[in-house]
Amino acid sequence: MKGKTANGAALAEAVAFDMDGLMFDTEAVYWKAADALLGRRGHKYTAELCAQIIGRPPEHCFRLFIERFNLPEDWRTLQRESEDLFIELLNDGYSTTPGLERLLDELERRAIPKCVCTSSAPRVVREVLKKDGIGERFDFVLTSEDVTNGKPHPEIYATAAARFGVEPSKALALEDSPAGCKSANAAGLVCGMLRAEHNRNADFSGAVCVVERLDAPEIFALLRS
């Protein structure tokens, strides 16, 4: 059907990208930062904790640490320390997800606008998006500070669709976390998910496709010409 995907969804007229774990392999950096943060307090970061916070905004993550380990600090204090650790660890290097730059090239060729919708804090986002000038290629960036309710609440993706000026059903979200997929779906967006090492056991239900590269044909098939 003209203007529709094979499963009947509208072809995307705009694309919203998650950042960590989707465009870059920074989930490994977050793991090291969280492990160092908790290690200073005599605790270990675990896969169970990671599954509970992946894709979620800073307040949720650090309040969980405080509750789980009975920590005396407030969540913003932990956030600042974690950001310091994370930015320092970025200097060890992190890679770009295969296919990202080819997908960005294709979106630009088709004149399809694009944005970033991330649960990370602005300070971290600015540093990560410096890599290869990738941040400069997006029309706008939404971070944890731009919304009242973080993922899996739909606010960030609903805000993105409004900024694009398109119906949510005509926007595509690209995600790597169940929380992010739920956020996009609740806002009315179609969601494609990236399978990677950090989310091998994640729930991919709700995704219209699951890919291992961002230039996969399944993603291109969701875009308008």
- Structure confidence by residue, pLDDT tens digits, 53-83: 999 999 999 999 999 999 999 999 999 999 9
Annotated active-site residue 84? The verdict is no
State how far Cα 152 lies from the chain centre. Answer: 11
The Cα 12–Cα 191 span in angstroms is 10
Q: Active site includes 20? A: yes
DSSP state of 107: H
The per-residue pLDDT for 5 is: 63
Alpha-carbon torsion angle 91, 130, 51, 99, nearest 10: -110
Peptide bond into 72 cis (omega under 30): no
CA 194/CA 204 separation, integer angstroms: 9
DSSP class per residue in the chain? -TTB-TTSPBPBSEEEE--BTTTB-THHHHHHHHHHHHHTTT----HHHHHHHTT--HHHHHHHHHHHHT-SS-HHHHHHHHHHHHHHHHTT--PBPTTHHHHHHHHHHTT--EEEE-SS-HHHHHHHTTGGGGGGGSSEEE-GGG-SS-TTSTHHHHHHHHHHTS-GGGEEEEESSHHHHHHHHHHT-EEEEE--GGGTTS--TT-SEEESSTT-HHHHTTB--
Which is the catalytic residue, given 20, 84, 176, 203?
A: 20
How far, CA to CA in Å, does 109 sit from each of 16, 40, 112, 155? Answer: 17, 48, 8, 29
Look at residue 6 in the predicted model and tell me its pLDDT. 57
Domains of the chain and CATH, by start: 14-24+96-220 (3.40.50.1000), 27-90 (1.10.150)
pLDDT value, residue 1: 38
Tell me the whole-structure pTM to 2 decimals.
Answer: 0.91
Span 26-37, average pLDDT: 95
Q: pLDDT (tens digit, 9 = 90+) per residue, 74-124?
A: 999 999 999 999 999 999 999 999 999 999 999 999 999 999 999 999 999
**Residues 6 or more apart whose Cβ sits within 8 Å of residue 48:** none
